[in-house]
Each structure stands twice: as C-alpha cells, then as structure tokens.
Amino acid sequence: MQSGDPSYEEDKFQVRKLEISDKSKGFIELLQQLSVFDFVSDKQFEEQFQELSSYGDDHLVCVIEDHCSGKIVATGSMLIEKKFLRNCGKVGHIEDVVVDASARGMQLGKKIIGFLTDHAQAMGCYKVILDCSLDNKGFYEKCGFKQKEIQMTMYFV
Amino acid sequence: MQSGDPSYEEDKFQVRKLEISDKSKGFIELLQQLSVFDFVSDKQFEEQFQELSSYGDDHLVCVIEDHCSGKIVATGSMLIEKKFLRNCGKVGHIEDVVVDASARGMQLGKKIIGFLTDHAQAMGCYKVILDCSLDNKGFYEKCGFKQKEIQMTMYFV
C-alpha cells in the first residue's frame, strides 16, 4: 500500500484509546489548540490518566496517531452520564474534540465522532450530546447531529 | 414562625441531597414533568441510587421537599467532569432541573441552581455548564449564567 491508496490512508489514521505514552506524542500540544493552558507535568498527566481510567467505559478519551510523524493529530472525549430520567437512562457527552491544524480535510474529526457515538450506542445511551460554536454546527450536522438547545456557562476563574 | 414569615419559608424549602426514601415522595413523578418515561420499580431506583452514590461528590442529585405536603417539589443534578484541558481541570454539568408546576414563583429553581453551583465551586471546577431551551435563557441569566454555544444532539431511540 502507498500514500494515496485509500486503504493505506485508512490504516494510517486509526482511532484508538488514549495511552499513557501519548503525552510524549504531542497530546497536550494538540489540546492547546482548543484552549489556553499551562504546563502539565508527566506526574499530573499520569495521575489524571489513572483517575480517568478508573471510570472504565464511562469515560473514554480517543486519539488518532499519525504513524509517519509519530504525533497525535486528533482527539475527542466521551463522558457517560447516568440518569434517573428516561428509565434510568444513559447519555453520552462529547467533549474536547480537536483535529491538528496540519491534519484538517482528511475527515479525522468525523472518524473521532463516529468512534465516540459508536461507543455511546454500545454502552446503551439513548442519546449523545455536545456543545459547539455556531461555526462548527455544519460539521456536526454532517456527522448526524441536530441543533436542539443553547448552552449556558458560568465561569469561576 | 408562621407561613408568610420569610424565615419560615426559608426553613420550609431547604435544598438537600436525594435520599433513597424520596421515591415514595414523588421524585419520579416530578421528573416526569421534564420528560416522558415509564414505570421505574423500587429495585431499579435503588440500584441507580447506589450506582450514583458510588461516584461520591462527583455526582450529586439535590432536591427540595415541601415539609407540609411531604412531596419533593424541586430537583437538579450535577455531574463533575474531569479533563486534561485547563491543567487537568474540572467542569460541573447541570442536568435535569425541574420545579413542580404547583411550586413555581417561589425561587426554588434558583435555590437548586445555587446549591449545585456552590458544590461545583467547592469541588474546584473552573466552570459550570448546562443546556436549556431559549425559553429558559432568562432564568439562567438571573442565576448568573451567560449564553455561550449551541447544543447538538443525536438520538438513538
């Protein structure tokens, strides 16, 4: 298989779960494209990784690694909420989706969203929700989402 | 203290955590004002109650009981999300806020939201978010929230 061959591209950009070694592959720098944040030490990262791992399938961070560059080029997270509503139903919350600026136009965002929504469905969720800017509405519509409500926020810091 | 006395009203409508006995006080019927759902057995309720209790302070369901009627007249939930973003920050998600149709106009919704946002702040969250209809935007603005993004949904059932 060679570059340009669709099956090559398919192999090259597989979605997988976050691994602890992904910090050294630019995972934090990728998230920095989404929001400003400071230095995260290896220790902080490992502790948060273990904390999130302890939730099992109720918390999933997935990534796409570019095997040519060895860099993480896309990521997204899902948190499963358990409710009393809807007969003790479950809702998948999608958070922190970002595709590296250098890797756009290759449908990696769509792959990340597909991976997360498949996970939610496998976990028995009755719906998946996310908040996005108006600019990203069209992208999520292409992924099968529909606009429903508005998001309200209160910042403490 | 008598009805009409502000301190009486204050005592009468305290926010507290959900208790397992609240199912018999109309908790499920209250949630039914928010969304259609079927019968929930005592066993199902107790199992979900224990499941959610196992998350400790990371999942909180609060209620207001009207001590005159013995009924639950308001509720709201908070789920604490742990992120890598924002230096391994935390976000409080408010869900499933409802005030009984017979108990509106007594600021109970505001009490519920205040209780939940105080909890988020005490837990070290950097923000609280929620999704609501345009109709409820004004209420949440009075509670200190600002509109930010839009909510997108995908339903499986």
pLDDT at A1: 42
Strand partners, B128: A154, B92
Based on its alpha-carbon atoms, the radius of gyration of chain B, rounded to whole angstroms, reads 16
- Contact by Cβ (8 Å): B111, B64: yes
Q: Nearest residue on chain A to B88, judged by CA atoms? A: A48
From A38, A82, A147, residue closest to B51, measured CB to CB: A82
Going residue by residue through chain A (157 aa), what tens digit of pLDDT does each one get? 444 555 555 668 999 999 999 999 999 999 999 987 667 899 999 999 999 999 999 999 999 999 999 999 999 999 999 999 998 999 999 999 999 999 999 999 999 999 999 999 999 999 999 999 999 999 999 999 999 999 999 999 8
Residue A123 at interface with chain B, using a CB cutoff of 8 Å: no
Q: What is the spatial distance between Cα A119 and Cα B145, in angstroms, rounded to a whole number?
A: 31
What is the overall mean pLDDT for chain B? 92
Interface contact A37-B86, CB threshold 8 A = yes
Q: Are A63 and A16 in contact (CB under 8 A)?
A: yes
Cβ distance A83 to B93 less than 8 Å, yes or no, reads no
Output the 3-class SS for A71-124. EEEEEEEEEEEECCHHHHCEEEEEEEEEECHHHCCCCHHHHHHHHHHHHHHHCC
Per-residue pLDDT, A7: 57
* Closest residue in chain B to residue A41, using alpha carbons only: B87
Q: Rounded to the nearest 5°, which phi and psi values hold at B130? A: -155, 160
Question: pLDDT digit string (tens) for B48-102?
Answer: 999 999 999 999 999 999 999 999 999 999 999 999 998 899 999 999 999 999 9
Residues of B within 8 A of A150 (CB-CB) are 131-134, 137, 147, 149-151
| Residues in A touching B134 (Cβ below 8 Å) | 149-150
Cα separation, A42 vs A39, whole angstroms: 10
Of the listed ranges B5-19, B56-70, B108-122, B129-143, the least confidently predicted one is: B5-19
pLDDT of residue A33: 92
B123 touches chain A (CB under 8 A): no
Put residue A70 in one of left, alpha, beta given phi > 0 → left and psi -120 to 50 → alpha: left
**Would the pLDDT of B113 be above 80?**
yes
The CA distance from B80 to the nearest CA of chain A, in Å, is 10
The shortest C-alpha distance from B141 to chain A (Å) reads 8
Q: Does the pLDDT value for residue B6 go beyond 60? A: no
pLDDT band at B114 (very low <50, low <70, confident <90, very high): very high
**How far does the CA of residue A156 sit from the closest CA of chain B (Å)?**
5
* pLDDT score of B144 more than 60: yes
B83:A95 CB<8 A: yes
* B124 Cβ contact partners less than 8 Å away, ≥ 6 residues apart: B90
Q: What is the DSSP letter of A128?
A: E
Give pLDDT, residue B71. Answer: 96
- What is the predicted ipTM? 0.92
pLDDT at position A2, please?
47
Query: How far is A20 from A137, CA to CA, in rounded Å?
Result: 32
Chain A: residue whose CA lies nearest to B78: A81
N-terminal to C-terminal alpha carbon distance within chain A:
50
